[in-house]
Amino acid sequence: MVMIPRIPLLSALFTAARRRHDNRIPLHMIDEPPHRVRLASGLFRNWRRAVGWPLLAVFFITPWLSWQGKPAVFFDLNAQQFHIGGWLLWSEDLLLLSGLLIGSAFALFFVAMYAGRLWCGFSCPQTVWTFMFIWLEEKIEGSRQMRRKLDQGKGTRQQKVRRALKFVAWGLLSLATAITIIAYFYPLAQWWSDVIQGDISSVAMFWLILISTLTFLNAGWLRESVCTHMCPYSRFQSVMFDNQTRTVRYDSARGEPRGKHNPDNTNSGGDCIDCGLCVQVCPTNIDIRDGLQIACIDCGACIDACDKVMLQTGRATGLITYQPEQQLSPLQRWRLWGYGALALSAFAVILVTTLQQPPLSASLERDRLALYQLTPDDTLINRYTLKLHNRSQDAMQLTVYDQQQILLHTTLSAGQRAAHSLDIERTTDTPSQALELRIEDQRSGYQQELPARFTNPRVRTTSLAANN
C-alpha cells in the first residue's frame, strides 16, 4: 500500500478552511426553491405600499415630464450633460455626484443604525419589484397552496394556462421597466417615434432586452438569492448595527416552547402555536424564530402575519416585533447623530455649490510658443487662448472687454464650448501688470471678471540696465 505523506502546510490550510466554514453566519432556507410567498396584510404591508407606490410613481412618471420644452430629467451621455429640472450639470460636475454619494452613504448609515434594514425592506428596487411580481403571481395563479401543487405537477389545465399568463404579465412589467430606464437616457418622444417607425437602434435594442431579462430573472426567480448571496450591503450592514438598532425580532422567552394551538388555552407552553405563517410570508425564505439572520430584510411581513394569528387566538400581539434590543434615549446615541450631521453637511455643501455654479465657464491660457510679439508699429502683444463653455440652457451673446476696448464678440448656443485666440495689446513702455478682463452676456446681463497678466520683459530689462 502506498502511503501519501502528510504535508503540514496543506493540512493547516484545510483545517483553517474547515474552521472558517464552521464559523459562517448560518442561513436557514426553509422551503426548497421555489419558495412560494403568501402575501400578508397588515400595518407593515400598508407602510411598504405607502413608501413603494410614490417611489414607483416617481420612477415611471418622471420620463414623461418636461421642463421648458425639454425632458425634466434626462442623462444625455453623448453631450455629457445631465438635465435635472432647471439644472444643467456637466461631466466636470461629477465631483458633485461624489459628494452626493458620500451624503447618501452617511444618510444610509444613519437610517440603518436607527431602524435596521429599512432601505432593504421598504424601498430597495429589488424588494419593491419582487413584491410586485409576487402580487401578480398571487392574483393570477392563486394561493400559495395552489402554486405549490402546480410546482409538484398536480395543477389542472386551467392552472397551467394561468401560469403562462403570469409569465406574460411579468414580461410586460419587465418591458415597461426597461423602457422607462432607457427613457432617462434617450428622450421618450424620440424613443416612441423609433418604435412606431420600427427603427430601433441596435444599442437601444440591446439595452431593452438586457434590462427586461434582468428584471424578469431578478424579481421572478432569483428574488431572495439576490439579497442573501449577491447584495454587498447585507454583508456589511452589521458594522452599522448596535444593540439599540431596531430590527425584526421574535420574543423567544414568550413564544417558546412552541406548540399546537389549544382553543381552551389550557396548555402551559409558549405563545407560538407553530402555525408557520411567519415563514410562509417571508420573502427571503427564513424562519425569524431562529434568531437574527443576515437574510432578514426587516420587511415586517412576519409581524403582520403573527399579529393576526395572535389576535385570532386571543393573545396579545407583539410576539414578533420591530424593536431594539435595548432602548436608549436618542441623545445618548452620539454615533447616530454623527452620521446624521455628516449626511446633512454633505448635502448642504452640494446644494450651495450647485446653486453657485456660474452659467458660463471661462479660462485663459497663455500662448506657450511666444512670451510676446512686437509689431512694426511698436505695439507689444500678449496672445492668449480664451476657452468658453456655455453651461446654461439658453444661448449667450458674449462680449469680452479689456478695460473699455472690445476684444471679442461671439455667440454661444446652449451648452456650446468654443476656443478663441485673444490678443492683448499695450505700448512697448507698459510694464508687466495684472489685468482684469470682463465678459458680458448681452442677453441676460450676466457679467464675469477674468484675471489675466500682461507681460513685458523689455521694460524690466531697461529699468534694470538704468539702475546699473
Q: Which of 276, 291, 330, 358 binds ligand SF4 (CB under 6 A)?
A: 276
Residue 300 as a binder of ligand SF4 (CB under 6 A): the answer is yes
Q: How far is the CB of 279 from ligand SF4 (least distance, A)?
A: 7
Q: How far is the CB of 148 from ligand SF4 (least distance, A)?
A: 18
Cell, residue 254:
414568550
Query: Which residue, among 323, 322, 319, 325, has the nearest Cα to 255 in the 3D structure?
Result: 319
Residue 304 as a binder of ligand SF4 (CB under 6 A): the answer is no
- Quickly tell me which residue has 403571481 as its cell: 137
Query: Which residue, among 465, 459, 451, 439, has the nearest Cα to 371 in the 3D structure?
Result: 459
Decide: 237 and 145 in contact? Cβ < 8 Å. no
C-beta of 231 vs 342, nearer to ligand SF4: 231
Q: How far is the CB of 291 from ligand SF4 (least distance, A)?
A: 10
Cα 265 to Cα 223: distance, rounded to the nearest angstrom:
39
Residues 358-397 as b/e (b if ≥16 CB within 10 A, e otherwise) read ebbebebeebeeeebeeeeeeebebbbebebbbbbbeebe
Q: How far is the CB of 343 from ligand SF4 (least distance, A)?
A: 25
Stretch that binds ligand SF4, among 12-20, 143-151, 171-179, 298-306 (CB under 6 A): 298-306
Residue 274 as a binder of ligand SF4 (CB under 6 A): the answer is yes
Q: How far is the CB of 232 from ligand SF4 (least distance, A)?
A: 18
Residue 134 as a binder of ligand SF4 (CB under 6 A): the answer is no
Q: Which of 179, 273, 407, 459 binds ligand SF4 (CB under 6 A)?
A: 273
Stretch that binds ligand SF4, among 55-63, 168-176, 269-277, 422-430 (CB under 6 A): 269-277
> Binding string, 191-230, against ligand SF4, x = CB under 6 A?
----------------------------------------
Residue 112 as a binder of ligand SF4 (CB under 6 A): the answer is no
Residue 297 as a binder of ligand SF4 (CB under 6 A): the answer is yes
Residue 128 as a binder of ligand SF4 (CB under 6 A): the answer is no
Stretch that binds ligand SF4, among 153-161, 185-193, 300-308, 362-370 (CB under 6 A): 300-308
Cα 22 to Cα 1: distance, rounded to the nearest angstrom:
34
Residue 284 as a binder of ligand SF4 (CB under 6 A): the answer is yes
Decide: helix, strand or coil at residue 87.
strand
Residue 343 as a binder of ligand SF4 (CB under 6 A): the answer is no
Decide: 305 and 288 in contact? Cβ < 8 Å. no
- Rounded to 5°, angle at Cα 322 from 318 and 325: 100
The DSSP code sequence of 249-271 is EE-HHHHPSP----TT----S-S
Q: What DSSP character marks residue 220?
A: I
Decide: helix, strand or coil at residue 167.
helix
Q: Which residues contact 220 (CB under 8 A, 6 or more apart)?
A: 133, 170
Q: Which of 112, 309, 343, 380 binds ligand SF4 (CB under 6 A)?
A: 309
Q: Summarize as ranges the residues that interact with ligand SF4 (CB under 6 A).
A: 248, 255, 272-278, 281-284, 286, 288-289, 296-302, 305-306, 309, 319-320
